[in-house]
Structure 1
Amino acid sequence: MEEASSEGSIPSTRPREKLSKEAEKKTNYTPLKGKLSRRDLLKVAAASAGGLALRKYLTEQERSNELTERYSDPLANVIQAIKRQFPEAADWRADSPKWSGAIKKGFAKAGLSTSAENTGVVLTIINALSGFREDPPVFGELPIIRENHLSLLKKQWTGGPMEVNYQFVMDLESISEEEALKRLSSIDDGVYYGIAMLKKISVYYQNIPDEARRLECIFADWNAGEGRSVRAGLQAAVAELSKLPVNNTGLLLLEDVESKKIPVVEAIMTFPDAFGLSREQILTDLNEPTDNIRTTATWQAVESKLGHQIEPVPADLQVPGLIGKLKNLFYNEGTSLGFARNRLQEYKVIRKIMKT
């Protein structure tokens, strides 16, 4: 048993006395001479801590210098301010002029107006979903539920700085899944496809006069799927007319877990003569794409009963399983509506930054 040093209970460290001179010369290793006391160890620890503190200080200085840098490009300066405002989300090392260039090119290529609202939405989405990181990953989002059966799951792969669904890119460009994922991996293409998706989503909600409702529908669609807030509007209208519970998921053919029935269809069937529509006709109509669903007999019958046009409402689709619970616990984003509300608050902050 080694004896304690005179300055405490930490045993001394003795050099290996038989280390050959050849080994010393070869390795440039010089053995310690004498004992290493507690005080010596504390000095080493202090020096190490000082080094860590210095590195932390230099990192903070580097971060401060980066975030206070000003550019001739106004949009790059807005991105700088966003990085300062959202330090937990945004990557402070991100090249603001590079991101500004990608956003401008994306708007031009997609043919979408660079209005304050559109620019604010794009900045909000990028900040929230990638934090302006240089190499945003392509990854799989959580599976979402098919409309016609709860137990069947459909994986929605997304990627890039704005988490665009790869299927959207495949359909837009008529390319393979592999090529779509590859394109989404680049900043320029990833931003462009995000802006192209925003252009398509915005068409559904451009006539909503209330800005907050309009933006909530756009953000909800970003999370739940394109056009879901249009379809959720039908669910809300049917619930209002029938006084029956119908959740605004935007998935019109989603079955109830317990009854195995489709709530919106069952609610429509309670109306006198069900508007003269058969169950099969209603199911066929509700399965129509969002671009066509407003012209169906079912949609128009509900509007006639309602007395005015069906208005979109933000889709409130729950993220299934444990991940949904964790998202709700930590971010209050367990549903597409929660996601939309959080993005709306961030959008308001970013719009203020844009005005300064």
Structure 2
Amino acid sequence: MADHYDTLGVSRDASSDEIKKAYRRLARQLHPDVNPSEEAAEQFKAVTHAYDVLSDPNERQRYDQGGSGGAGGFGDIFETFFGQGFGGGQRGPRSRSERGEDAMIRVDVELAEVIFGVQREITVNTAVLCETCNGTCCQPGTSPISCDVCRGTGQVQRQVRSLFGNVVTAHPCGSCHGYGTVIEHPCIECGGQGRVSTRRTQTIDIPSGIETGTRMQLRGGGEVGPGGGPNGDLFIQFRVMHHDVFSRDGNDLLATLQVSMADAILGADASVAALDGEVRVQVPAGTQSGDVITVRGRGIQALQSTSRGDLKVAVQVITPAKLSKREQDLVRQLAALRKDPGPNLGEFQQGLFGKIRDRFFRQG
């Protein structure tokens, strides 16, 4: 078997570029479309096989260590019969234009913005179409030229001997990497990629009713593909920020209202600042700690709906820690008038311990 380096006419320490140039030079001389003789065809097969081995770093290392260097066999046969060759059975040159990658960013949203939804400007690090070459990958005024090795097909054929006789397999052209064309003058701006990296700002509509972990898909909002290919998609994942006063249970807003002992006894009409403006809260006479006052329709607008949840307010009755002598006398007079029994253990009620915990400290 001829030495692959001798076949290509290069030294054993030749660089990959030197091997590629040698192959292209010989392929132009020996290709069947140029030189139809049987001797040239055999030489062309040998040159192509040598290049297939030496252009692959792993194959070249095995060959240098005394291996066969990809002499063909069952792998090539299976590729031919089961369609696992170049491109999974692909015919014709590859397209330089490919779909861009999807992208995902995370956006923090205030609880108040979740009530009705909000518009927000976001900044995305992405790839956009190169304005200099408009995705062609070439310097303006130039265009790709047909590969003179594969004649624009993007493939080269190789004949190998096997148990089944001579088998012809197709492989990507090593000169044009399967594209069928060669870019002699790549665009300087994008380096021949057809796209450039940039930071893009755009406005998005954040819908009402979203929760932490909700994802939104913007089709075509991702990066443009190589060679000016179609854009991937942009995925936005939301996180609803913690609020010091209000929490959430589904589409209901939860809060705690502190009232004085007198207001709890006599009742009161309170005006409190909700997330979407002032709201009136009626505290009934005789309200107990843990009682819940519901204000209908002042919660969060449901996702993809016009209906709103409720605002639920848990009452916390504040008992004064210090009283003046006059206040103490008045409380004693009230106690004497009511003749209430003294403290005693009664039936356990969830209201004192569980209502606030279960309803108002769950994170939405």
TM-score normalised by length of structure 1: 0.21
**Which structure shows the bigger proportion of residues in helix conformation?**
1
Tell me which structure has the larger Cα radius of gyration.
2
What TM-score results when the alignment is normalised by the length of structure 2? Answer: 0.20
Structure 1 or 2: more strand by fraction: 2
Higher relative contact order (CA 8 A, sep 6+): 2
